[in-house]
Structure 1
Amino acid sequence: MEIDPQNAFSAIQTGIRQASALVVTYSFSVVGAVLLLIIGFVVAGLVERWVYAGLGQVGGFDLTLRRFFSKIARYVVLGLVVVMVLGQFGIQTASVIAAIGAVGLAIGLALQGTLQNIAAGIMLLALRPLRIGEYVQVGSISGTVEEIGLFATRLRAADGVYVLAPNSTLWTQPVKNFTRNGVRRNDITITASNEHDIDWVQKSLLGLAEGDKRVKKDPAPSAFVAELGDSTVAITLRYWTSVSDFQSAKVDLNKSVRNTLKANSTIQ
C-alpha cells in the first residue's frame, strides 16, 4: 500500500500543531505550579514562625507543644498548596481531598497506638502532671523525668537506669509526683518494750528531729504511740523536710534514732 506523501505531511503538521498546543497549555500549568510551590513554601514557613511566636506569648505554653502546633500549621498550608498544584493540571480537587481523607483514615487506623501516644503526649504537656526534673511514679515505672516527647517520656531511674515510657501508659494511670509540692513527710517507727519509759522515748525522738536543721518547723515534728502490742509498743516519729533534703535527712535520722535508743536498750 502506497503512502500518499501529501496526506502524511498533513498528518505530521497536524500532530506538530497539537503537540505545540499541548506544550503551550501545560507550560503555563507547569509555570503556575512551580510559582504556587515556591509561594506555598514561603507562606508555610511564615505561618510556622507566626504560630510558634504567637504561642510563645501564651504564658506557660510548653516548648514542645509550640513546635508541634507550628509544624502542624506548616503541613496544613503545604497540603493546601499541593491540592492547588494538582488543580493546575485539571485534576478534580474534590477527588484529591477525598483520597487524602481515605489515606489519612487508613493511616490513622494502622497507627492507632502511635496516635494515642501523641494525644497522651499533648495532654501531658498541656496539663503537666509531671515536669522535667521531677521524680514520679506511675504504676511500675518510676524515675526522674528527663524529657517529655510527643510519643514517649524519658526518665532516669533511682539506680541510673534509662527508662523510656510510652505516653499513653503515663496518661492512663495515676501519677505520684514526689517533687511537685516541694515538701515530703517521713515516718520512723520503732518498737519498744512496755517496760521502757515511753515518755522518754518520745522526747528523745522529738529532740533528734528538732535538732536537725533540715526538719521543718511548720508542720512541727511529732512523736506518738502508733500501735500497742501485748508486750511492746510501736512509737512513730513523724517529720517534714524539703524534697531536696528528704533522702539525706531520712538516712541520718534513721541512724541517730538507732544509736540513741540502742544505747539505752530501748529498741527491740
Structure 2
Amino acid sequence: MQDEEAQTVIPAVDAEAAATFVRESVAQATPFLFDAAGALIVLVLGLWAAGRIRKVVGGGLRKSPRIDETLASFLSSLVYYGLIALVVITTLGVFGVPTTSFAAVIGAAGLAIGLALQGTLGHVASGVMLLGFRPFNVGDFIEVAGHGGTVKAISLMATELATLDNRKVVIPNGAVWANAIVNYSAHPTRRLDLVFGVSYGDDLDKAIAAVRAEVDADGRILREPEPIVVVDNLGDSSVDILCRVWTQSADLFPVKWALTKAVKERFDADGITIPFPVRQIVQQAA
C-alpha cells in the first residue's frame, strides 16, 4: 500500500513542477519574443524605407542637368548605407542591446579609416565638387595643373585628358580642384587676335585694307562683335597691325591658320613687305 501511495504522489509533484517551469519560461520568454518581433519589424521596415529613399534621391539627382550619373549613384549610395547603419543601430536598441558603446565603436572605426585614407578621400571629395559644380564637361578642352587636353572621363578619383598629340594624362581630382582651371570650350565663341607687322615705308591704309579684305572674305568670322583692324604698335623694326575677330570656338584655329596664310599672300600681291629684325653692327675706329 505504501509503495502504491508513493507512486501516485511522485507524478503529481512532477506535473506541478513542470507546469511551474513552463509558466516561468513563458514569463521570461515573452519580453524577449516581443523585443525580437519589434526588432524584426524595425529591420524590415527600415530596409524597405532605405531602399525607397535611395531610389527617390537617385531619381531626383538624375533629373538635374548639373548632376552626373556617377555623382548621382555615389550620393544615393551614400544616403542608402548611412540609413542602413541607422537601421541596424535602431534594431539593436529595440532588441535590448546597448547602442551607446556600439555607436562609439563605429565612430572610432570611421575616424581611423578616414585618417588612413585621408588622401584618397580628399580626391573623392574633390571629384564630388567637380561633378557637382561642373567647371568642365567631357569633350571640353581645358588646361589644368600644367596639362592641357580634351577631357575624356571624369570619375570620383581622377580626371582623364587626351593631349593634342593624343597622349593620355590622368590627374588626381585633388590636384584638379586645387589649381586654376582654364576651359577653352566653356563659351560658344572665342576671340582671335593676330598681329601683322609691315615696314615703316609701307602705306598703312593699304595694309589695313588688305587685312580687312581677307577678314571680310572669310565667312567663319562673326560680324558681331565687329572685327577690328587697327595700327596697334610701333615696333623696333615694324609697324604692328592688330586684327581682332570673333569666331565659333570650333573654328578658332582653322580661321587663324587660314587668315595668316591669306594675309601673307595678299601682302605679297600688293607689294606690302613684312620686315624682319635687323641688327646693325657699327665698328668704331681705334
2:228 equivalent in structure 1: 222
Q: Which moves more between the two structures, 136-145 or 223-232?
A: 223-232
SS at match of 2:257: helix
Instruction: Indicate which of 163, 168, 176 corresponds to 1:162.
Output: 168
Deviation at 1:125, TM superposition (A): 2.1
Q: Is the 8 A contact 2:148 2:163 kept in 1?
A: yes
Q: 2: CA distance between counterparts of 1:230 and 1:65? A: 56
Alignment pair present for 1:125 and 2:131: yes
SS where residue 273 of structure 2 aligns? coil
Shift of residue 258 of structure 1? 2.0
Could you tell me whether the CA contact under 8 Å between 2:163 and 2:169 is conserved in 1? yes
SS in 1 for 2:84: helix
**Cα distance in 2 for residues equivalent to 1:204 and 1:169:** 47
Q: How does the TM-score come out when normalised to structure 2?
A: 0.76
Matched to 2:181, the amino acid is V
**Residue segments in structure 2 that go unaligned for 5+ positions in a row:** 1-20, 276-286
For residue 49 of structure 1, what is the aligned residue in structure 2? 55
SS at match of 1:142: strand
Q: What SS does the corresponding residue of 2:55 show, helix, strand or coil?
A: helix
CA contact (8 A) 2:222 2:245 kept: yes
1:149 aligns with 2:155: yes
CA deviation vs aligned residue, 1:217-265 (integer Å, no higher than 9, x gap): 0112111222213442122211110011112111111211222223425
Q: Secondary structure at the match of 2:170?
A: strand
Q: Aligned pair in 2 of structure 1 residues 259, 59: CA closer, same or farther (>3 Å)?
A: closer
Instruction: Give, in angstroms, the shift of residue 87 of structure 1.
Output: 4.8
Larger Rg: 2
- For each residue in 1:119-172, what CA deviation from the matched residue of structure 2 results, as whole angstroms up to 9, or x when unmatched? 222222222211222111123122122222222122222222222211221212
SS at match of 2:130: helix
Q: Secondary structure at the match of 2:186?
A: coil
Q: CA deviation at 1:66?
A: 1.8
1:108: which partner in 2? Answer: 114
The aligned runs of 1:1-268 (5 Å cut-off) are 40-58=46-64, 60-84=66-90, 86-87=92-93, 91-263=97-269, 264-268=271-275
Aligned-CA RMSD value: 2.7
Task: Show CA shifts across 1:37-87 (max 9, x none).
Answer: 665544432221111123344464333332121101110122123334555
Which residue identity is paired with 1:239?
V
Cα deviations by residue, 1:177-236 (Å, 9 ceiling, x for unpaired): 111121111122122110111111111111111110000101121112222134421222
Task: Using structure 1 for the length normalisation, give the TM-score.
Answer: 0.80
Partners of 1:229 and 1:49 in 2: CA distance: 66
Percent pairwise identity: 37
Distance 2:203 2:145 in 1: 42
Q: Could you tell which deviates more after superposition, 143-152 or 36-45?
A: 36-45
| Count of residues paired in the alignment | 246
Q: Which moved more, 1:151-160 or 1:242-251?
A: 151-160
